[in-house]
Amino acid sequence: MPPGDGELVLSSGAAFKGSAALANPEQLLLAAVSSCQLLSYLAYAAAARIDVLAYEDDAEALMPADAKPMRITEIVLRPRITVAHGADPGRAARLVERAHRACFIANTLDADVKVEPVVEQAGEHAVEGQ
């Protein structure tokens, strides 16, 4: 699939003497996994008529320096999801796993992809998912 019409300016990561001001392939891979999870989740939530007010992900990719061959070995997604008052946060949390199974980017990777969600109802306490 061709990229969008805009120019994408990249660098290697700062650890490889690249520019920290520019995106690098590792960050793009992490963004692809995170955004695939987000979009899959929002689709399932919409079908379940769960009103998602906010979704933030504190995602990280682990690339050990001693990994042979050099590779990302693990990706951890930590979505913090806020659903509307009246929505069932437990049901919303269960949809995270369905979305994870549907994410074709995560399914393509050899690295372990873990999802550690926290779901909260607006004005209530958070519920930690799977």
Superfamily designation of domain 14-128:
K homology (KH) domain (3.30.300.20)
**pTM value?**
0.85
Respond yes or no on whether the N-terminal peptide bond of residue 117 is cis (omega within 30° of 0): no
Residues near 108 by beta carbon (within 8 Å), at least 6 away in sequence: none
Its sign, for the CA torsion 21, 33, 42, 4, is positive
pLDDT in tens, 61-104: 999 988 888 899 999 999 999 999 999 999 999 999 999 999 99
Query: What ranges do the domains of the chain cover?
Result: 14-128
Give the Cα separation of 12 and 68 in Å (integer): 19
